[in-house]
Chain A
Amino acid sequence: MTEAARFRQTVRAIGLIRPPSVVSVLATAQTFTLDGISARPVRVEVDVHRGLPAFSVVGLPDAAVREARERVRAAMVNCGFDFPLRRIVANLAPASLRKAGPGLDLAIAAALLTASEQLELSRLPKLAMVGELALDGAVRPVPGVLAIAEAARERGVEAIVVPAENGPEAALAGEIDVICLESLGQLSALAAGEWMPERPQPMPLALSSGDGALDLADLRGQRHLRYALEVTAAGGHSLLMVGPPGAGKSLAASRLPSILPSLAAGEGLEVARIASACGRLGEGRAGGRPFRSPHHTVSPAGLVGGGNPPGPGEATLAHRGVLFLDELCEFRRDTLEALRAPLETGWVSIARAGSWRYLPCRFMLVAAANPCPCGRGEADPECSCAPLAVRRYQARLSGALADRIDVLAAIRQPSAEEIGGPAGESSTAVRQRVSTARERQESRLGPGRCNAEMTPSEVRECALDEAAASLLADAYSRRRLSGRAHDRVLRLAQTVADLAGSATIGREQMAQALQLRRREQE
């Protein structure tokens, strides 16, 4: 017997190293990682074998995942588990998928506990788990739990372990058992069958935004703006408000979601999923039409989404709701240009080296601008803007993005009587009319579609009476309308007719549409 063999025998005898049959132990746990706004399955494999004590995480982890080592170690020790002093390798499969965020902590800890024979999960149903660990073993909430729970349900996972705070959100996914965990220590009680938390109640999913505090009744006077808002909402059009600062543009825009028709249940879930993925869910209520108002210094990536790996931007956050661009003329041109294609398709596709993503962004665009840089308007004798500055400023009102805006509302400062006058019509009443108009559109165009989305061939099918047709032809022949504006006016006229409950577009309705249309520069 050589010297080395004798040494090994001695060591084995005193139990420092297990016999070769148990030298290496493998355990796995199922989890999910967030990819944009959808979840991808990740299998955590932990291998514990002899060697110098080390803990490495492989499989394209980002910094937060790599740091999981320290959190998992501290959480295990602080919950009374042993941290094996061996060579530990945690592999995140598939190895080609980039994993992000601290949501993998819980699965890594569970796999490691199983591998070191401190936990026996086999008696539980097919399980997935997600959650961030605190150093004391507490389980912290993570973003995107709704998407993860839905993805788990689709893959046939029977139960999902989530942080307690994310429980109501995960329960929205339905048809999957949600187990709320408050600390890592509860995991062994759960595995032993000694403890089972109560199934959380799903978070209430609000479908209409009308019950909120923002009501259109706050808008005093401004009859034309009210009317423009109603038409915009009824047809899903886009709106540009031009007027001096403080006239009520932002107020009106923020009230627009409250007059939009209620969301369908599926749409509400879409909204909640996006909010959840962006970590914006959790005020006890999900859904409702979102209202996003990014500041004008926003970058293109911030507006339509981007980064590496690509994440959603304001446009996606405004999905099914309203994207309000205040001070349209102050936005960087490339930022606005980036919004063009998403505005038409309702999707934004972001490609980065190694990954690309399609994010939904079917929103209503509402923009506000001042008539000139000083805001008073050229007709005001107090306005001291240089003509070149005014031209440059207004030129932005006919940029590539502005060309996709349908409705123009010129706003003025409301008079003292109007400000002090009675409150306007409430959102509920307006929403009633808007919903009726939307129903008419859906019966004509198909479910979920509105007039703003009409294709050119559908626009041709709009029923006009003779007087309306001659009014439109007259405007077109006098070169007051471009070809594109011609179709835009027809779409608007159809919405006005839908609001009036009329089957054909009459003269009065055509005239209203002509007045509402956005003006173009000569």
Chain B
Amino acid sequence: MSEPRACPDCLRRSRLLAHLAPYIEKIATGRPGARSPELLRLSNEDLAVAAAPNAATQILARVATTSERHLAADLLAAQCWACCRHDPRFPAGLRDAADAPWALIGRGDPTLLDRLEPEGTVTVVGSRRASTYGREVARELARELTAAGLLVISGLAFGIDACAHRGALDAGPTVAVLGCGADVAYPASHRSLWRRVCEQGLVLSELPPGTGAWRWTFPARNRIMAALAGMTVVVEAAQRSGSLITADLAADLGRDLGAVPGAVNSRYSAGTNDLLAGGACLVRDAQDVLDAMLGPGVRKAERVGPGLEPRLQSVLTEIERGEETCDAIASRLDISGGEAAAALATLEALGYVTCSLVGVYSRTLLQPQR
């Protein structure tokens, strides 16, 4: 299999974006309706003039004179490779979009490029500020989808994104699309997760190595995520969450759109519930995604755990009812603290529940055998 390749012109385009980033930041944010992806439809010259009328000629000249050797050396130094729209391995999902990036700079396993067909990929996104429920659903959903052979794409952000990556990594590779250079771990506290994705999966970006994150690069990144995948699933989003932009973009491209329902009184789930009301596909588990993408019953998600004895089942039922702490369960079932602790640890070991940093339990998607 050949290495992914990129022609100098396409690489210069990504160079140009990096040079123009501060200028685009000024005109693309803070103004309603001025969404950055619209700008990115423009040709090099138009984009430069639109973003930086005064410095356009200077920046264009600087980009045009960047040598091919220089571009390649930059990629090599950042341990990245590039794949442009003229390469046959360029992801199919990006070919039909007008504002698609000219080149993708990647870090990690290049063979995953060939799996980036819309039919086999799902984008899982959601709010950065997510509830325990949302995190758990994202993690479990991504794990099961990966186990069922799909490739899960997300954005390495806080909250849902990170959980989706972690879940997917439990079962196989995953793809992260970044709003900064592929060699930049952003947010910085996700450095270890970024490294794991680099090692076991693939990190992609349309910006050259070393570029920092700007506000406009996130919606721009979202358009790549929406275009790459055959289906976009929003796990949890508040009314004005950034992940709804991804959902809009996916719908505009004619991709499938799914949303995980949430409690109607929770503002964390207001956005996803709105999507469902607007006709998005209802996603309760991996099976719903598989059915929507591949047709009903084509592939089965493995999600049945071992059977539970009545004592454990009663504890599980309490968690499903919304009890969160060991103490609450002990008091509801009138058992001792030690018994409740043992039951919860057993359920956790079997994968039915998970526990947060502060000792709050939540239910996973795993169903016990009846």
Contact = CB atoms under 8 A, between A and B. Distances in A.
Interface in B146-196: 158-159, 166, 189
B357 A227 contact: no
Contacts of B342: 508-509, 511-512, 515
A221 B325 CA distance: 13
A227 B336 contact: yes
A398 interface: yes
Interchain residue pairs A-B with the least CB separation, the first 4:
A410-B359, A227-B337, A224-B327, A515-B341
Interface residues of A, number: 46
A415 interface: yes
Given A369-B358, A410-B360, 4 more contacts: A222-B327, A408-B359, A511-B346, A515-B326
B62 interface: no
Interface string B328-342: 101100001110111
A377 B122 CA distance: 31
A113 interface: no
A333 interface: no
Nearest to A385: B129
Most buried by A among B340, B345, B358: B358
Contacts of A514: 345, 348-349
Contacts of B327: 221-225, 409-412
Contact of B331 (A418, A508, A511): A418
A508 B344 CA distance: 11
A471 interface: yes
A318 interface: no
B99 interface: no
The binding surface of chain B is classed by DSSP as helix
A521 to B, nearest CB: 6
Interface in B114-143: 128-129, 131-133
A377 B336 contact: no
Given A394-B358, A519-B359, A378 B341 contact: no
Contacts of A369: 358
B49 interface: no
A4 interface: no
A341 to B, nearest CB: 25
B318 to A, nearest CB: 13
Nearest to B332: A415
A273 interface: no
Interface residues of B, number: 37
B65 interface: no
Nearest to A519: B357
A391 interface: yes
A391 B343 CA distance: 29
A109 interface: no
Interface string A237-255: 0000010000000000000
B2 interface: no
A3 interface: no
B7 interface: no
A287 B101 CA distance: 74
B349 A474 contact: yes
B152 to A, nearest CB: 17
Given A227-B338, A412-B328, A515 B358 contact: no
Nearest to B166: A522
A516 interface: yes
Contact of B360 (A379, A475, A516, A522): A379
Interface string A312-338: 000000000000000000000000000
B326 A224 contact: yes
B325 A411 contact: yes
Most buried by A among B265, B330, B331, B337: B337
23 contacts: A221-B331, A222-B327, A223-B330, A223-B331, A224-B327, A227-B337, A242-B358, A377-B358, A387-B128, A391-B189, A394-B357, A408-B359, A410-B325, A410-B326, A412-B324, A412-B325, A471-B345, A471-B349, A496-B338, A510-B345, A513-B345, A514-B348, A522-B166
A397 interface: yes
B342 to A, nearest CB: 4
Nearest to B133: A379
Interface in A498-522: 508-516, 519-522
Given A242-B358, A379-B360, A224 B132 contact: no
Contact of B341 (A377, A516, A522): A516
Contacts of B348: 480, 514-515
B78 interface: no
A228 interface: yes
Interface string B46-83: 00000000000000000000000000000000000000
Interface string A339-364: 00000000000000000000000000
